[in-house]
Amino acid sequence: MIERTSGNWGALAGLWLAAGAWATLVAPALGQQPAAGAVADAPGPTPPAVAAPKPARRWPREVVILQGAADAAEFWKKLDAPDWIVVRPAPGRTAEGPPAVAEAVANVESVHVAGAVEGEGARIVLDLDCEVFADGPTWVPLRLDVPVIPSAREGDRELVLRRVADGMWEALLEGARRHRLRIEAAAPVRVGPQRRTLELAIPEAPATSFDLMLPRRAFDVDLGAGESAPRPEPVEGKGLRVAAHVRPRPRLVVGWSEQDAAGPRAAPLLSAQVEMAVDVDAEGVSVRSSWAVACSRGVARSLQIRLGDDEKVTGVQLDDHFQASGIERSGEANLLTIPLPEPLRAGESRRLALETRRPAPAAGSLALEFPGYPLTDAGEQSGFLGVTQGPNLFVSVLKSRGLRRIDPRDLPTALKSRVGTTVAMQFGEQPFALSLGVEPSPPLFRAESTALLSIEPDGVRNETTLDVERSRGSLYEIEVAVPPELKVASVGPPELVEAAAASASQAGGEAGPRILRIRLTPQARDRSSFSLKLSGRQAAAGTGDVRLGLFAPRGAATSTTTIAVSAGPDVSLEPTDDSMAQEPPDAAGPKPSAGVAPSLRLRTSRNPTALDLRLGRRAMEVRRETSLAARVSRRVVEVRQETKLRASHGAPASLTVLAPAGVAPGWEVSDGQRPVRMEELDEPSPGVRRSRLTFERPAAELALTFHYRLPTPLASEGPTPLRIPWIAFESGTPGPCSISVASDPDVEVTVDDPAWARAEDPGGLRGARAYRLDRDDAAEALAASARLVEPVEMPSVVASRAFVRSTLDADGGLRVRAWYAVESHPGSLAVALPPGASWLRLRVDGRAVDRADAAGEGTASRIDLPAESADRPVLLDLEYRAPAASARRPWSAPTLLDGAEVLQTYWLVQVPWTQVSPMPPRGWTDEGRWAWDGFAAARRPVASASRLAAWAAGPTAPPAALEDPPEGDDASRGLLFSRSGPPTPMDPWLVSRAGAVLACSGLALLASLALAFLPAWTPWILGAAAVAGMPAAMFLPAGAWAFGLQSAAFGVGLGLLAPAARRWASREAAAPAPAAGSRGPGGSSLVIPESSQRSTSGVGSDDSTAIRVRTTSTMDYLAAPPPPGPDPDASLTSRRPPGLSME
């Protein structure tokens, strides 16, 4: 061992010693030549003369160099990882080139060593059985390295021996056979301070044994490191006999110790370096100590460590192997005895790891006494101690003796790497006295838990969010009460939770809630608020009263719990705990993972561990609505079936369907996005196939699409009966069923089934004939008949649908965009625009194309179609603009030339709001509906421009064809007209709204005034209205006279005020009353105009000066002689006094 004086000089000295050792060990090996061994005289053939070998100096096989070992402890630590190891090379390794592999000449099968030890030597007899493979004389290696061999015999014949360069002996044997050799030799015994060792090189053989006689004072016999010897047997008068069969080995090593005759064996002397890690928590103290134990004298077969009276051992590890240990009581001492598998001898060391646990101090005691762990027979036991405190505890040093307080950064690496070390001590001897003060420091925090409970068929899932807000202290862990029925699945997130462990509650026993202790990470401890995620699972809940477990935090100053319960539509929930406040299900707050509102939401300021509910289940109902689209051709009927399913009180995961007879195999079903997995079942009847449809996920609403074929070849003559069935569902509530029937041009289909009613096209547009059935179980199929018709010559260009949209700008210009769904076409199309129009753009299937042969405005243009559209329909999208000068009515649509046929046309005319068309143009049908528009009713299109463009594109158009929808798509503005055939010139009758109101209301007002003030003209006015109204009602469309009546409403309303005005005027123009005292004929009173008798005072007036009219009585009509006057035969009017009127 080299003492380190300084950093650089120590390294140079080590390198110098290594170089010297290399020169000493390797140089002789490189220059040494093989020498012949000595040959003993023996009868037999004379072998060749062999020179006597030169005695070679014996050097150690390896030299270990340690640098900087200041003391014994450092020496033992560095011995496991020395600085340099210089090894002597094996013979032949220094030769140039690869070593030659020698051919085996003999094989040793058994070796037996016998002998006795006498003093510092041993007499050895070796019996060898070997087999020689060569016929002639052969030198056989004996693998013996003893200095002197007195005798070597084979039977009665003495053998010739020689010693080779490596110090081994060889024997000359002759004959390819088995040879039995007996060799007598003397071997030295290596004598050490504590041990004696007999080491002998022997050949490796499958059968190896020995029988040795050792001195009587020998004890502790072994066969080298790691292998124990059999128990010696005393032999009277000779010593101790040791015999055994051992595994093959190149050297036989037998070691023992001898007891001094002067007295008993001395106790071993040990030394130990200890590192103690002390963890103090609320329940006790855990100590993990690491020991490096070395033996300086004697032999130690066990280690004894003194423990505390109430201390328990939780783990013992010796040299990285867990060791079974027992604790023995010796008086009042608690000794831990650890037996050693191999005795610990002088110069050897062991590593020991010890884990102990002692309970917390008794209630009311704040001091923790810790004396260390004294090791028996240890002359030196020093080390370091580090203390860490548990959560919500404060640990301090009350007193210490035999220890020195140090900085935690000066601890060894293993102790320094532990997080949270608050006390660091160094000691030089054990036992010592250390008293630690332990005081509780509970934190103060507020907890708010939100539990999301999902009731599923296979169990109840609990997802709880625990929001913690710390107010005071350090929060190291959180305790959560968990009921027995709730199984904890996960605790997170990982960046906040260091560990989580559940233990039984001491208060509740086995039936009480468990305590889940969640240890927080340093990141969570530094935060003032954080959220924890807990998830658990409970067994499936039955019907009736059930109890659902909840995570309940413990130790919080205040706590609030919000519970949201989510269940399927087939589950009814009712809380049975009146102390919980029920909130609306759609209230603001967390929702389950599906994002839907929970079925039940509760809130409480308590901290419950369970939720009591009354649970009921309703049967699931599935209602269906089926629609079919069938197309009849010469040989087959293509059917597309769409069935909408709506489930109540549940969501189906699978359904069973029945495919009727006649449906061709290979029918398909999908949910609109992907195919549905289908499983064939048994056939309930011949021809009917029964299948189970399994959905990817249960859903309350499903839309299934079936595609199947009905092979039905049509007869060449006469009608062929058809039956169009649908794929039925085995269970569920029946619903309506509708079918739309279309056919190829050469097929005519007739439907005469009384069970079906004729219906309009579901899309609102004209198309195939549609039929409806109120319940799909009322019939099994649609009965029809089909027959072939004579083919007619078809035009080269056929556009099945056309949609034209024209917009009248404020400046009088016309902007037109037209869509043509061209079903059959050649390689190009010819299009003619109205005179004066100019192209804006042109697209085919949504892609812009160039026009060919464009000769100018208003001329024909030929459009080259893409090559890939030769055998499929295309959508032609045209847009142009006509200025105000050429946009005079009638308006013309773009025309497809080359004899093109257009089957159906829709034209949407968009005009300013101030104009209106009372009646459709000639040759067009109004496709509007009445709708309220602010203060008046108006005709509005039945579909928007986007929908009409999609209708024109058809179901086979590529998606790019509708990527550019019409601009300004407003279904409330415009006039929609339709016709069968190509678009004809559009000449709408546009009138001003204000002018129509002025004209119609003016006529109505004049007629009302004439009726009111000219009663004599009433018959003439009513007669004229009837003569004009009857033809208008008969020949004008309903929209025209409805528009006229609406425009005349204002005048009619004003005309209704004329009678009231006339009555008011009549009252004002009434005649005045006669003067006082005058009396008209018959005794009636006369009132003079502008007199006081015209007072407004009436009966019961308080005015005493009012002149009241006397009530007429029978006395007023008594006969009196007529006064002299005119001729009594004159008229009454002539006899009335002028200026008077009779009331």
| pLDDT tens digits along 231-280 | 888 888 788 899 999 889 898 998 888 876 444 566 788 999 999 999 98
Whether 642 and 684 share a structural domain: yes
* pLDDT band, very low/low/confident/very high, at 581 (cuts 50, 70, 90): confident
Is residue 751 pLDDT above 70, yes or no? yes
Same domain for 698 and 812? no
Same domain? 825 vs 931: yes
Residue 614 lies in a domain: no
Tokens 């040759």 — which residue? 923
Report pLDDT digits (tens) over 635-647.
899 999 999 999 8
Under a CB-based contact definition with an 8 Å cutoff, are residues 340 and 295 in contact? no
pLDDT above 50 (res 1141) = no
Inter-residue contact 402 to 428 (CB < 8 Å): yes
> How far, CA to CA in Å, does 599 sit from each of 441, 586, 726?
43, 9, 38
Helix (H, G, I), strand (E, B) or coil at 566: strand
Summarised one tens digit per residue, pLDDT across range 1031-1048 is 766 666 666 666 777 777
Beta carbons within 10 angstroms of residue 79's beta carbon:
16
Q: Are residues 561 and 675 in the same domain?
A: no
Answer with the residue of higher pLDDT: 301 or 31. Answer: 301
**C-alpha 972 chain-centroid distance:** 45
pLDDT in tens, 1065-1103: 777 666 454 444 444 444 444 344 444 444 444 444 455
Look at residue 1101 and tell me if it is in a domain. no
Instruction: Give the C-alpha separation, 1053 to 941, whole Å.
Output: 30
Q: How many CB atoms lie within 10 A of CB 56?
A: 12
> What is the structure's pLDDT at 71?
63
pLDDT exceeds cutoff 90 at 419: no
21, pLDDT greater than 50 = no
At residue 365, the pLDDT reads: 57
In the prediction, which pLDDT does 334 show? 80
Q: What is the CA radius of gyration of the chain?
A: 60
SS (HEC) of 418-431: CCCEEEEEEECCCC
Q: How far is CA 644 from the centre of its chain?
A: 29
The gap between the terminal CA atoms of the chain, to the nearest Å, is: 158
Query: Do residues 471 and 427 both lie within one domain?
Result: no
Per-residue pLDDT band for 653 (boundaries 50, 70, 90) equals confident
Phi-psi region at 1090: left, alpha or beta (left = phi > 0; alpha = psi -120 to 50): left
**Looking at the structure, do residues 249 and 340 belong to the same domain, yes or no?**
no
Residue 1128 in domain = no
* Dihedral angle, C-alpha 1023, 1026, 1028, 1034, nearest 10 °: -160
Q: What is the pLDDT of residues 503-542, one digit of tens each?
A: 876 554 556 788 999 999 989 888 889 999 999 999 887 7
Residue 650 lies in a domain: yes
Q: Which amino acid is at 611?
A: L
Amino acid occupying residue 167: G
User: Are 461 and 568 found together in one domain?
Assistant: yes
On whether both 961 and 1006 belong to a single domain, the answer is: no
Residues whose CB is less than 8 angstroms from the CB of residue 830 and which lie 6 or more positions away in sequence, other chains included: 860, 861, 862, 863, 896, 897, 898
Number of domain units in the chain = 8
pLDDT at 52: 46
460 within some domain: yes
- CA–CA distance, 659 with 707 (Å, rounded to integer): 11
Per-residue pLDDT at 586 exceeds 70: no
Q: Is the pLDDT of residue 671 over 70?
A: yes
Helix (H, G, I), strand (E, B), or coil: what is residue 356? strand
Residue at 739: amino acid letter: I
The C-alpha atoms of residue 493 and residue 498 are separated, in whole angstroms, by 9
- Tell me: do 689 and 576 sit in the same domain: no
Whether 879 and 816 have beta carbons less than 8 Å apart is answered as: yes
Burial class (CB in 10 A: 0-12, 13-18, 19+), 529: exposed
CATH number at residue 538: 2.60.40.1730
Same-domain pairing of 929 and 1018 = no
User: Which DSSP category does 1099 fall into?
Assistant: T
pLDDT, tens only, 682-708: 887 787 889 999 998 888 888 999 999
Cis peptide before 866 (omega within 30 of 0): no
Asked if 452 and 435 sit in the same domain, the reply is: no
Q: Please check the confidence at residue 575 and state whether its pLDDT lies above 50.
A: yes
Confidence band, pLDDT 50/70/90 cuts, at residue 80: low
Nearest to 243 by CA among 208, 269, 284: 208
For residue 669, the domain's CATH number is: 2.60.40.3650
Helix H segments across 241-281? none
Q: How many helices (H) and strands (E) does the chain have?
A: 11, 75
1111 within domain boundaries: no
Sheet holding 326-330, edge to edge: 299-307, 333-345, 326-330
Is there a single domain that holds both residue 844 and residue 939? yes
Q: From 228, 258, 288, give the residue that closes a domain.
A: 258
**Mean pLDDT value across residues 472-501:** 89
Question: Structural domain of residue 1034, as residue ranges?
Answer: 995-1062
**pLDDT interval class at 477 (50, 70, 90):** confident
Whether the Cβ atoms of residue 900 and residue 795 lie closer than 8 Å to each other? yes
Q: Would residue 2 count as lying in a domain?
A: no
Q: What type of residue is 311?
A: E
* pLDDT score at 1078: 45
**Torsion (CA) 614, 620, 623, 624 in degrees, nearest 10:** 140
Is residue 965 predicted with pLDDT exceeding 60? yes
Residue 613: inside a domain, yes or no? no
The whole-number pLDDT of residue 991 equals 74
**What is the predicted pLDDT for the residue at 704?**
92
Which residues, in sequence order, are bridge partners of residue 814? 808, 882
Q: What are 599's two structure tokens? A: 């079925």
Lowest mean pLDDT across 659-668, 750-759, 1036-1045: 1036-1045
Q: Max alpha carbon distance in the chain (Å)? A: 218
- Higher-pLDDT residue of 406 and 18 is 406
